[in-house]
Amino acid sequence: MLFIFMALFFLSMLLIFLTPSSCNAGYWPPSPGYYPSSRFRSMNFYEGFRNLWGPNHQSVDNSALAIWLDKTSGSGFKSVKPFRSGYFGASIKLQPGYTAGVITAFYLSNSEAHPGYHDEVDIEFLGTTFGKPYTLQTNVYIRGSGDGKIIGREMKFHLWFDPTKSFHHYAILWSPKEIIFLVDDVPIRRYARKSDATFPLRPMWLYGSIWDASSWATEDGKYKADYRYQPFVGRFTNFKATGCSAYAQRGCRAVSASPSRSGGLSRQQYTTMQWVQRHYMVYDYCRDGKRDHSFTPECWG
């Protein structure tokens, strides 16, 4: 009997060790073998950005920016020029503790140029409750309408580290062929251009913001922002925005996330991305049976 008990115990320990878990802190992905962030120059905030809203909820110290949300306002910033492709990154540190309902975002958009019919590529950190991890949401909108019929293409992840402890680098690489989302140079998602109708092709600006999205951000709105814990602060540094601006010549070459100048991911990068999706992805819109996939034909193939 003791032998059976011990055998079952060791088997359970082995299964725990071998089974991937998005809550298993320190379970790090394999090396991608290539580090695109090292290829692009960093800049300070005022080189490439301006405050967009909430100027009294923003401060710049050397090259680092802090934006915060309290019960009176949040804050946002915007790049001074639009782009039609490029590498867009920042090192970000998030607020610890209770942050339910709060979104800290870094994203591309042309919503001001095309109100009610815009494109958008998002990295959003969805706030959380005590003891639960942040969720990183990636999303792509194509010519989204402002009438509540926006079609999201969400993929959500937990992270293999605590994003409140230190700065980590988050990036979007947008080329005419693909969009790649990266965390500390680790590719976590690739969104390919399968048709013009499902890919953003118009110039976009780079934005960052912190705001109250209590209606949906945390467990579909179950937990709201609690301003007893204000201010909620997002910190940004190591800004990168390199590529073809909307004013560049037609022959401007798009940047690449891999050693190949033609774009795509190397085999090692692709393997690392698959590893992350297998271990840390918590939602994929293409696998959501409740979604009407007639609006997302890229999920078919």
Residues annotated as catalytic are 120, 124
Tokens coding 42: 């960093």
Tell the burial category of 53 from Cβ atoms under 10 Å away from its Cβ (0-12, 13-18, 19+).
middle
Listed in sequence order, the DSSP H helices in the chain are: 2-18, 45-48, 267-280
Angstrom distance (rounded) from CA 118 to CA 194: 19
Amino acid identity, position 86? G
Angstrom distance (rounded) from CA 36 to CA 187: 10
226-256 burial code (b ≥16 CB/10 A, e <16): eeebebbbbbbbbbbbbbbbeeeeeeeebbb
Per 3-state DSSP, what percentage of the chain is helix, strand, and coil (rounded to 5)?
20, 35, 45
The torsion defined by the Cα of 75, 81, 84 and 89, in degrees rounded to 10, comes to -50
Angstrom distance (rounded) from CA 282 to CA 290: 16
